[in-house]
Amino acid sequence: MHMEMIIVNKKRIAACLLTASMTVSLLTGCKKDTVPSETSSETTVAPSVSITETTETTPESSAFVTYTAQEYKDAGVNELNSVPVLMYHRIYGMTNAETEYTGGNVDKDGYNRTSEAFEADLRRYYEQGYRMMRLADFVSGYIDVPFGYSPLILTFDDGIRDVVLQGWNDDGTPVFDPTCAIGILEKIKAEYPDYNVTATFFVNSQLFENGEDNDKEIMKWMVDNGYDIGNHTKDHVKLGSCDAGEIEKQVGYMYKKLDEIIPGQYVNIIALPFGSPEVMGPDKPQYDKIFAGTYEGFEYTSEAALLCAWTRSYSPFVRDYDNKCIRRIRGYDNGGKDWDIEMNFEQLNNGKRYISDGDPNTIVFPSSDNSSGDWLKNTYGHQVITYG
């Protein structure tokens, strides 16, 4: 069915002036050695739109605002394209000039970043039209960013130098070192109210290393102030080398601990230490324990697992997306090579990025992007709208 106009359920939001080429995203594989291969196509005829009703469409998805196919095209709306999930580790209170490595890296491999470089990263993502969203919402297929903008997800592993406590205010709120990750995030939050600053922190048994009593209070503050906390195993082990019992202990201990501190308020998501195992094959049934098990009487489940991978994540709506191996971009600088931030965002900004229609209950994309008929796979009950 083709129509000139289309009705969606949100108030009209002024389209931002982003443009993006019409591309087909045909990424394959979930393995580290696979380099994404992609092709592009151009549309020359006047675009039209098509709505596919799903039986699960929520009642709110009817209504009153209209976008034309041309408006989708002009904004480059494409919700089958890819999403950057950034993986950061420690943030050190240093200028870039104070490190001997490239562009704000604090170590040889670029796992740790200076506060100067991290703050500049955040400003650059904002200026390029990215807006933050919660990882937990992404895993649920609920992507809520304004029309014409792209989702950005921040994650931090290990807890070290992410949340550094300096003391407590009289009103009981924490005072953070302004150069640690959360210190900078709070600064950016105040400066850019429309950035939706949020991040998910993956911790081990030592939490944030401010002393357990302090960390418990900090974690309560964090979940009340827009941040999420997830599982990075008890001892930061390679789960790919563990038997089923050890996996259950490593994963279950951490969920149990989180549940004691912030009951029901942590995310059931695990960041795999060292990205291991990268592939969960049927020949390794013990890996199922990453996703469900019992530790000391405490039953846990994981909705998703994050790799230490090198590039952007698939949209949760496409065939090759796998919540058991969500890829992340390492937050480092390597002169635009080897999948550093610059290389990844150059690709994203040249036609590979997810660009939202502003409505989390619809999936909108150029019809040519699903010409195979099987690239769109998971609709999460959303209404599907194609144009072109």
The residues of the shown chain that bind Zn ion, judged by CB under 5 A, are: 157-158, 273
Give the amino acid at 168. Answer: W
User: DSSP string spanning 242-261?
Assistant: --HHHHHHHHHHHHHHHHHH
Q: Which one, 116 or 157, has the nearer CB to Zn ion?
A: 157
How far apart are the two ends of the chain, measured CA to CA in Å? Answer: 12
> What are the E-state strand segments in 25-164?
39-40, 49-52, 65-68, 85-88, 91-92, 113-114, 130-132, 150-157
The distance of closest approach from Cβ of residue 88 to Zn ion in the complex, given in angstroms and rounded to an integer, is 11
With contact defined as beta carbons under 8 Å apart, do 129 and 137 qualify?
no
* Residue 325 · residue 305 · CB < 8 Å: yes
Closer residue to Zn ion, CB minimum distance, 75 or 237: 237
> Measured from the CB atom, is 75 or 163 closer to Zn ion?
163
- Please name every residue paired with 318 in a beta bridge, in sequence order, or none if there are none: 376
To Zn ion, the closest distance from the beta carbon of 158 in angstroms equals: 4
| Nearest distance, CB of residue 69 and Zn ion, angstroms | 45
| Nearer residue to Zn ion within complex by CB, 27 or 267 | 267
User: Toward Zn ion, which CB reaches closer, 161 or 353?
Assistant: 161
Residue 253 neighbours by CB under 8 Å, 6+ apart: 205, 234, 295, 296
Q: How far is the CB of 152 from Zn ion (least distance, A)?
A: 21
**Min separation Cβ 239 and Zn ion, Å:** 12
Q: Whole-number minimum distance, CB 308 to Zn ion, in Å? A: 8
* Whole-number Å distance between alpha carbons of 167 and 91: 19
The total of other beta-carbon atoms located within 10 Å of residue 209's CB is 18
Q: Over the Cα atoms of the chain, what is R_g? A: 21
Residue nearest Zn ion, Cβ-based: 157
Q: Alpha-carbon distance 100 to 135, whole Å? A: 33
The residue (of 6 and 272) whose beta carbon lies closer to Zn ion is 272
- With respect to Zn ion, which residue has the nearer C-beta, 49 or 271? 271
DSSP annotation of 356 reads -
Q: How far is the CB of 228 from Zn ion (least distance, A)?
A: 16
Question: Can you tell me the distance from the alpha carbon of 251 to that of 237, in angstroms, rounded to the nearest whole number?
Answer: 10
CB-based contact 49:72 (threshold 8 Å) = yes
